[in-house]
Amino acid sequence: MSGALHNNVYIVTGGSRGFGLAIAKSLVEHGALVGLVSRNQSGLDQAVAEIGADFALGVAADVGSRASISAAFKKIQTHFGRLDGLVNNAGLATPNKVENLVEEEVLLQVQTNFLGTVFCSQVAIPMLRNGHNPRIITISSASAWHYDEMSHLSIYAATKAAVERFTRDLRLEVQGDGIGVTCIRPGGAWTNFSDGWNAQALEGALAAWKEVGTHMDLGMEVTHVGDAVRYALAQPPGVAIDLMEIRPNALTPKSIF
């Protein structure tokens, strides 16, 4: 698969940090060009500076708005002259017990995590029809299937489960266009994903999580997810990985938290 991504252009949503930035860096390291999308332009500017302005372009947009995404994707396609793939990575979570869920936080998670995947895929499909080995990757979460990832993330987990079900239909619908579709389900890794979480809500989530069991899996880095996405994108035309779950595999006591 050496050189499979050379000069291909990929859009990565949520690309300014965490998994998204790691994915973008892995793609560029293997010869690709990337368009990064997130809400915050300053974060995007910093990410582009890390990757290199010759290889990356950052465009601020709200993935929960189809109009915003359409404008951003067109700008990226015009800048690079083509589009070969989309990585639906943008996502967020706010921990809380179901009884205490805040309406605005629920709506934001659904809008970003699920509807963002729907709208981005909608906008990208016609752009990808002329792409080289075109692909759409959707990023799910081990929280959609495993109870021991973190407690009090019911809405986040539900939106990621919805992403997986949506991906199944997406795969069937775009086969005739030669677009490969893959769902990647990462487990926990060291990121800044929890930045900005309410301290009291986080404390309650951690306490409930520790009651699930005394140990957890640890040891995965964001780079492992970046490499998993790159591997999926580099499959030959006519071949697609349907679902890939990548999780840490080092048994670690939860008492470290």
Residue bearing tokens 């487990």: 187
Amino acid, single-letter form, for residue 90: A
Report how far apart, in Å, the C-alpha atoms of 131 and of each of 75, 82, 180 are.
Answer: 16, 7, 11
The residue from 38, 68, 121, 140 that is catalytic is 140
Q: Is 12 helix (H, G, I), strand (E, B) or coil?
A: strand
Q: Give dist(CA 140, CA 135) in Å, integer.
A: 16
CA distances to 56, 83, 95, 134 from 240, in Å: 25, 18, 34, 11
Note if 160 is an active site residue: yes
Can 74 be counted among the known catalytic residues? no
Residue 116 DSSP class: H
**Overall residue count recorded for the chain in this entry:** 257
Among 184, 4, 225, smallest CA distance to 88 is for 184
Which amino acid makes up residue 206? L
The residue annotated as part of the active site, out of 10, 16, 121, 143, is 16
Q: Which residues, in sequence order, are bridge partners of residue 191?
A: none
Active site residues: 16, 140, 156, 160
